Amino acid sequence: MPPPILRRSNSKQIREHRRIYSNYSLGFQLLGLCMICISVLLTIYELSSDGNVGVGNGALQMDDLARAKGQWSSLRSNVLQEQDLEKRNQEEKVQSIQMTETFESEMGANAAPHLLSKKSQGVNKNVFSSSSTSPTIGQKLLGFLGPWISSSEIEPLDMPGKSATEEEVIGCEKDDSSFISRSEVPRVFSKCWEPPKQCGTVEEMGSVAVGDTRAASLRLRDMIKTWMLDHGAETIRNLPGLEFCERKFVMGLASEDGFGNNMYKVLSGAGLALMLNRSLIIGERGANTPSYIGDPRNIVLPFGDYIVYSNQFFSMQEVKHLWAVHDCAGKHNRRMTMRVDDIEHGPGRSNSLCDDWTTIPDTVLWFKGTVDTVGLQFLLKNRNAAVRSAAAMVLGHPAYPSSRPNTFGELLRAFITPTRDIQAAVEWALKGGAEPDFAVHLRLRHNRSLDAPMAASRCLAHIAQAMQQTSRGKQRVVIISDTPEVFSDINEQLQDNTELIRFDYKEYLNKFKNLSEVMSLHYGQPPRSKMRDWGEMPRWVSLVDFFLAARARVAVISGASERICTTYAQLVGALAAATTLSDSEDSPPPCLLYSSFQRDLLAQGLMKQSGWGHAWRTFGGKLACKNQASQCARTPLLPFAWWDAPWQSPTTRDTLKMRNMGIQVDDVGNIAETSLDNFCDHRRLKPTVYNSKLPAY
C-alpha cells in the first residue's frame, strides 16, 4: 500500500490521513522495538553460548566460595524467593563482566576491537555456511530457542549416500589402541555401531567410552620424551645460527583467570607443538603483542607464582633474543612472524578445519582460545590427511576410545609441577599420611541442595566397596569444593572407615606465620571489580586443592549441582591418572575418573550437560535415556569433541550451532563430509600474521 499523501485542502481527509500515518509510525516504532528486543536476545544468546568462559573456571570457584561462605549459614533456613531472584540476576551480570575481563586480560590493548568484532563475527560465520543462505532472524531465533524446541520440528538432514568404502570397513573394526599407527584417519565415519537399544544410561555410555587407554597413554609419554630431545628448549637454544633460525614454534598463552580453562590453553599449545614438531613457547605476560621485547629479569608466566614449568620451553623474550643474536632475518632471510588462529568463538574465524598446518611457514603459531579439549580436536576433522594423522598421533582416533590417550594428563605430568610453596601446603593437608585413595570434587556454586553431595558419597561408597576386597585399613578421601560447608555434610554420609582430608586455608594461615608472600591472605586478590563477588578468598587455594586432589590413587569423582566434570575436574582426573600410570607390568591400575550424577541432572537425559568443553556434552542427544536414576559413571580422561564414538549424539542446540557454521550433523552425530568441504571452499579468511618486533642487538 502506498503511503498516504497529505493534502491541506480537505481538513477531514487530513485528519484521516494523519490518523493512518500515526498508526503507521506507531507500527514502525513497535517493529523497531521488536527488532531491538530480538537483537538483545540474540546478543545474550551469543554471549552465553559462544564464550564458554565459565567451564571449570577456578576463578569462578573463588567467587562461588566467597558467596557460599555467607550463604551456607542460611542453608536450611527459609530464604525469601525474592532474594534468590536478585542473586540470579546478579550472577548473570557478573558472568558477562567476567567474560569481558577474560578477553581484556588476554588481548591487552586489542580488547576493545576484539569485543566489538564479536557480533560481526557471528555474521561472518554464516557467510561461509554451505547452504549459502545467511540465517534469517527466524533461524537465529530458532537457534536461540533450540533447546526448548523438540527435535521433531527441525527438518531432517540431507545426508549424502555413502557407498561401502574402505573407511567403512576400518570403521567397523573393534576398539583398538593401536589403531592409529596402522592407517590414515578418515575425516568422517559412517558408524557401524548400532545402539543395542533405544537409549543408554550414563553408566552404560561411560563404560564404553573410556576404553583401555593404557597403551595409548604410554605411547604418548614416549612421544613427549622424544619430542623433548628433538625440540625441547635445552636442545634448541644451543643450536648454531642457521639451524636455530630454521626452527619453528607454537605459543601457548593463558591469562590467570579460571585455572581449568587457562591450563587447557597452555597444554593445547604443548599438544600442538608435539603434533607439528615445533618447539614450545609458554607465553609470558605481553607475549601476544607483536611489539613485545621483554626483560629476562621480569618474565611473568601464567600461574607462575604457583607452578614450575619444565625447562623444555622457551619464553617469547628468549626466542626473540636468540632470533636477534643469530640475525635470522639478515643472515638467513628468516623474519620472525607470528600467525594467530582464533578458535575462541568456534571455527568461523579459525583455519583449523581447512588449512594444512604441517606446512605453515611462520615462525610462531598461536592457536588462540583453546579453553578445553575441543580446540585441538578440531584438527582431527581437518581437510588435509597429514594434519589428521598428526593430530591422531596425539589425540588418538575419535571413534576408538582405546586409542585415545590421556593426552592432557600426560602433558601436565611432563610440563608442570607445583612450586615448593604449593607442595608444602599439599603435604600439610595430607598430614604425613599415606597417599589419598580418592578425591571428590564438588562444584556446587552455592546451590543449597544436598542432592549432589549425597550422590557423590554414594558413588564413593560404591567404588570403595568394589575395592574393599583388595585393600585394608581406612580409605583416605580428599574433598575439594567451592562450598567448604559441604565438608561436614559429606562427613556424615561417609562410613567409619573413611578419613576425610581437606585443605583448610584459614587454619594453614593461622598455623604458619612464615609463609611466602604469594601464599598470604592478601596475595592474588581478585581485581576490585570482582571483589564483591569473589570475596577475600585468595586464589592460590584452588591450586593447592588441584594438586592435593591429583594425588588420588584410586579414583577421582566429580560431582556438581549443574555441569559434571568441568575443565578443572577433568584436569585433576587427568593428572591423577598420569601420575599413577606406570609402565611396569605388575603396577596397580592407574587412577580412574568418575562422574556422579544425581537424579535431577538426568531427567532430560544428558541434555543439561551441554556447553563446549564439558565431559558429557557429546552424549547429550537422543541416545541418552530420560528420567535416569542417580549414577556413578566412568568418564573418559580425554573428553570427546565429536560424536564419532558409541552412544554419542548431539543436542538439538549443538546441531543448530554446527549448522550455523555450515557443518551438517544429523541427530546421531553423523557429519556430512560435503558440508565440511563447503565450509572450507567458501571461506575468504586470510590468516592473521604479524611481523614480530625484535630487540636491537
Interacting residues with ligand NAG (CB under 6 A): 276-277, 358, 390, 447, 449, 451-452, 512, 514-516, 561, 598, 600
- Please state, as a whole number, how many other Cβ atoms lie within 10 Å of the Cβ of residue 80: 8
Which grid cell sits at 38?
A: 530480538
Shortest CB 512 distance to ligand NAG, Å: 5
- DSSP 3-state assignment of 239? coil
Residue pair 249/364 in contact by the 8 Å Cβ criterion: yes
**In terms of C-beta density within 10 A (0-12 exposed, 13-18 middle, 19 or more buried), how is residue 60 classed?**
buried
Query: Looking at this protein, which amino acid is placed at residue 48?
Result: S
Shortest CB 224 distance to ligand NAG, Å: 13
Q: Transcribe 71-109 into DSSP letters.
A: HHTTSSS---HHHHHHHHHHHHHHHHHHHHHHHHHHHGG
Which residue matches cell numbers 640475525?
Answer: 327
d(CA 200, CA 397): 23
Q: Of 389 and 475, which has the nearer Cβ to ligand NAG?
A: 389
Q: Of 449 and 497, which has the nearer Cβ to ligand NAG?
A: 449
Q: Of 277 and 674, which has the nearer Cβ to ligand NAG?
A: 277
Sign, CA torsion 411/54/444/148: negative
Q: Of 7 and 88, which has the nearer Cβ to ligand NAG?
A: 88
Shortest CB 178 distance to ligand NAG, Å: 16
Q: Of 329 and 518, which has the nearer Cβ to ligand NAG?
A: 518
Which residue matches cell numbers 574433598?
Answer: 479
d(CA 10, CA 419): 89
Shortest CB 277 distance to ligand NAG, Å: 4
Residue pair 475/462 in contact by the 8 Å Cβ criterion: no
Shortest CB 61 distance to ligand NAG, Å: 16
Residue pair 128/682 in contact by the 8 Å Cβ criterion: yes
Residue pair 444/562 in contact by the 8 Å Cβ criterion: no
Shortest CB 393 distance to ligand NAG, Å: 8
Q: Of 345 and 445, which has the nearer Cβ to ligand NAG?
A: 445
d(CA 268, CA 262): 10
Shortest CB 249 distance to ligand NAG, Å: 14
H-helix or E-strand spanning residue 559: strand 555-560
Residue pair 262/303 in contact by the 8 Å Cβ criterion: yes
Q: Of 28 and 512, which has the nearer Cβ to ligand NAG?
A: 512
Residue pair 614/55 in contact by the 8 Å Cβ criterion: yes
Which grid cell sits at 321?
A: 633474543
Which residue matches cell numbers 594423522?
Answer: 389
Q: Of 87 and 335, which has the nearer Cβ to ligand NAG?
A: 87
Q: Of 408 and 597, which has the nearer Cβ to ligand NAG?
A: 597
Q: Of 606 and 671, which has the nearer Cβ to ligand NAG?
A: 606
Q: Of 571 and 606, which has the nearer Cβ to ligand NAG?
A: 606
Q: Of 345 and 388, which has the nearer Cβ to ligand NAG?
A: 388
Strand duo 555-560 + 438-443: pairing:
parallel
Q: Of 504 and 562, which has the nearer Cβ to ligand NAG?
A: 562
Shortest CB 54 distance to ligand NAG, Å: 14
Q: How far is CA 236 from CA 122, 220, 227, 282, in A?
A: 41, 21, 11, 15
Shortest CB 515 distance to ligand NAG, Å: 6
User: Which residue, 252, 242, 249, is CA-closest to 227?
Assistant: 249
Largest CA distance in the chain: 104
Strand duo 364-368 + 475-481: pairing:
unpaired
Q: Of 442 and 671, which has the nearer Cβ to ligand NAG?
A: 442
Q: Of 497 and 516, which has the nearer Cβ to ligand NAG?
A: 516
d(CA 347, CA 377): 12
Shortest CB 358 distance to ligand NAG, Å: 4
Shortest CB 128 distance to ligand NAG, Å: 26
Q: DSSP character for 501?
A: E
Shortest CB 385 distance to ligand NAG, Å: 11
Residue pair 548/429 in contact by the 8 Å Cβ criterion: yes
User: Which residue, 445, 370, 369, 444, is CA-closest to 95?
Assistant: 445
- SS3 percent helix, strand, coil of the chain, rounded to 5, is 50, 10, 40
Shortest CB 477 distance to ligand NAG, Å: 21
Shortest CB 561 distance to ligand NAG, Å: 4
Sign, CA torsion 185/186/188/194: negative
Which grid cell sits at 215?
A: 597403551
Dihedral (Cα; 321, 322, 323, 327), 10-degree rounding? 110
Shortest CB 182 distance to ligand NAG, Å: 15
Q: Of 334 and 446, which has the nearer Cβ to ligand NAG?
A: 446
Residue pair 456/442 in contact by the 8 Å Cβ criterion: yes
Shortest CB 670 distance to ligand NAG, Å: 28
Shortest CB 449 distance to ligand NAG, Å: 4
**In terms of C-beta density within 10 A (0-12 exposed, 13-18 middle, 19 or more buried), how is residue 328 classed?**
buried
- DSSP 3-state assignment of 193? coil
Q: Of 289 and 447, which has the nearer Cβ to ligand NAG?
A: 447
